[in-house]
Amino acid sequence: MSFFKSKRRQIDGLELDHKNEGPDNLADNKINIAERWNVLNGQNNWEGLLDPLDLDLRQYIIHYGSMAQATYDAFNSEKSSKQAGNSRYSKKDFFSKLGVDKANPLKYTVTKYIYATSSVDAWSKESNWMGFVAVATNEGKKGLGRRDILIAWRGTVQNLEWGDDLKFLLVPAPDIFGGNEEPKVHNGWHSIYTSDDPRSPFNKTCARRQVLEEVKRLVEQYKNEDISITITGHSLGAAVSTLNAVDIVANGHNKPQDMPDKLAIDTEKSSYLKRGDFRSWHSLEVYLHGVAGTQGLNGEFKLEIYRDLALVNKHMDGLKDEYCAPASWWCEKNKGMVQKADGSWELVDVKCDDS
């Protein structure tokens, strides 16, 4: 494992010079996830792994955080597009288009897209792409040590989704808690998870039913193998992930452990970042940068594994200017506009397979 190396990287014709501390890619980390996955999943309540943060656990957290980030990066928020609100990429091309599987042995295949609507007024019965269900490939199974079923939920992007975030009323959720009406959950998040719309081509069944049926199908398909179910999300996606996890437990697909200790990170200690504000404090890419370099709340910040600094600036301007990464550089080429043979331009939408 090599540290303190200078790495040059090129993004869409712009050459960047990053003085990163860490190995070149995931494969160079000599990770031991396959041998330790039960421990990394909390079998021993992460005892002795959090401070200092275990190297394998760092990579594990970043791996699943990257899957949550992929839901943001793939979301089509271009209002002029006929596919606005959907994923920009088909299931078969999803990870390759996003570059998630490049130099990454922990590979997955997307098996189903998740769509959600809401019964609260703010959503106006719209349907939006909310994430995906994926399963580890045979190659990914070798790196992960088991056949992992992954569920990734997208965080808040659409203005209408903020309406659900602000629906603070708590409501009973017997559908999630096995008939028990005593536990109460956030009304907006519950609505996103459980609402359907027979008029919508995407939400004839609710997001909850879409996910549970796909998980049941995959569990049956791989019932003779070691299986795990992993759920990831950020912001709104983290809230819905929690509901989803409880729901899966209540339906007998998994069994909860005791609540773990918390992993605390302080990204203000990073010398790579500009002074933070509300947007950067809530950025998933900043969180993952923090995981890569945290030395505990009492330690300084030092990158222990390689994670490209340019990723911090994907959707914001959080990286110091000396690292020469443009702000908000992640975007569809020419915003999806394609030049035709006669020289004119048009917005070309790629219709996604939505099943």
Tens-place pLDDT, residues 82-114: 888 889 999 999 999 998 988 899 999 999 999
Mean pLDDT along residues 326-339: 79
Does 175 participate in catalysis according to the annotation?
no
* Whether residue 167 is found in the same domain as residue 221: yes
Q: Is 235 a catalytic residue?
A: yes
pLDDT of residue 354 exceeding 60, the answer is no
pLDDT digits (tens, 9 = 90+) for 201-249: 888 899 999 999 999 999 989 989 999 999 999 999 999 999 999 999 8
Q: Are residues 92 and 133 in the same domain?
A: yes
pTM: 0.70
Please tell me the predicted confidence (pLDDT) of residue 16: 40
Q: How many CB atoms lie within 10 A of CB 24?
A: 13
| Cβ neighbours, 10 Å, residue 237 | 24
**Active-site option among 282, 317, 349, 354:** 282
For residue 259, being part of any structural domain is answered with no
Q: Is 190 a catalytic residue?
A: no
* In contact, 293 and 303? CB cutoff 8 Å: yes
Each residue's pLDDT tens digit, 12-25: 333 344 444 444 44
Q: At what angle do helices 187-194 and 236-250 cross, to 10 degrees?
A: 60
Q: Which residues, in sequence order, are CB contacts of 69 under 8 Å at separation 6+?
A: 234, 284, 285, 288, 314
User: Tell me, what CATH number does 123's domain have?
Assistant: 3.40.50.1820
Element (DSSP H or E) covering residue 98:
helix 94-98
Domain around 104: 33-251
76 and 201 belong to one structural domain: yes
Query: Would you give the end-to-end CA distance of the chain in angstroms?
Result: 42
Separation in Å, CA 227 to CA 84, 114, 142, 298: 35, 21, 13, 37
**What secondary structure, in 3-state letters, does 125-185 show?**
CCCEEEEEEEEECHHHHHHHCCEEEEEEECCCCCHHHHHHHCCCCEEECCCCCCCCCCCEE
Q: Pull the structure tokens for residue 126.
A: 């719209």
Options 17, 261, 277, 353, the catalytic residue: 261
In angstroms, rounded to a whole number, what is the distance separating the alpha carbons of residues 214 and 211?
A: 5
pLDDT at 81: 83
Would you state the pLDDT for residue 253?
A: 60
Per-residue pLDDT band at 36 (split at 50, 70, 90)? very high
The count of structural domains within the chain is 2
DSSP sequence for 278-314: HHHHT-HHHHHHHHHH---TTS-----S---GGGGGS
Residues 64, 148, single domain; the answer is yes
Active-site residue among 66, 195, 235, 241? 235
Residues 178 and 245 in one domain: yes
